[in-house]
Amino acid sequence: MLEVRNLSVRYGAYTALHSINLQVNPGEIVVLLGANGAGKSSLFRTLSGLQRPSQGEAVYDGQVLTLGRPERCVNLGVSQCPEGRLLFAQLSVEKNLRLGGYTHRRDAAGNQAELERVYQLFPVLAEKRADPAGSLSGGQQQMVAIGRALMARPKLLLLDEPSLGLAPLVVDQVFAAVQRVNEAGVSVLLAEQNAFAALGIAHRAYVLEGGKVTIEGSRDELLHDDRVRSAYLGV
């Protein structure tokens, strides 16, 4: 479904990603583990068309994603939920969600149906639909950010560090929702530092260190890998 081939990203003289290769197959949740600065957001921005690679490409469903055209990526079915959520704090929850459906703006009925699906996934957002997004708790804001990405009706969701700054109980709720989204047919590429929570819902995972993929395997392989256990699971 998604094939990243020899992808490198440079910022001036600095190379943030060194010839990355990875795949996401239909129906999978694939986790990308990595510490701060490992290059997770650089990869996501590149897959979303916000950043041009210096080398290599990413192909999704036979189409090249890495042309620096974000609107093309969204139209192809790839939608990003960015690190830090990046909501419009003054706008209501519902307006934030509807902005995610912009590419389907001529399909008002479809957007309404999608909005109802988001409210079913996160019932608390239905209660707070008229409130400014900035007035919500961190976990609820993360739900809005995921919901906004879903409004674009993606087949592949790029989810960048959704657990950042959230209490453990809230992380569990958010990850349970991600699992339900996946069961409804959306593939997920999930960048995380919270390895324990992320591997709990993953089918496969990659470890990114210093802009390079250093470990890859199934969820069980990573859970039993001594390097992952000591560096990311604290055991």
Residues that bind ligand ATP (CB under 6 A): 11, 14, 16, 34, 36-42, 83, 161
Q: Say which amino acid occupies 80.
A: Q
Cite the DSSP H helix spans in 122-218: 123-127, 138-150, 168-183, 195-201
**Residue closer to ligand ATP, measured from CB, 13 or 235:** 13
Beta carbon of residue 32, minimum distance to ligand ATP (angstroms, whole number): 9
Sheet with 63-64, side-by-side order of all strands = 14-24, 2-11, 55-60, 63-64
Nearest approach in angstroms of CB 141 to ligand ATP is: 18
Nearby residues of 41 by Cβ (< 8 Å), 6 or more positions away = 82, 83, 160, 191
Q: How far is the CB of 121 from ligand ATP (least distance, A)?
A: 25
Nearest-approach distance from CB 191 to ligand ATP, in angstroms: 7
Pair of tokens at residue 29: 């949740």
Distance CA 227, CA 223 (A): 10
Q: Which is nearer to ligand ATP, 131 or 209 (CB)?
A: 209
- Nearest CB to ligand ATP, comparing residues 38 and 146: 38
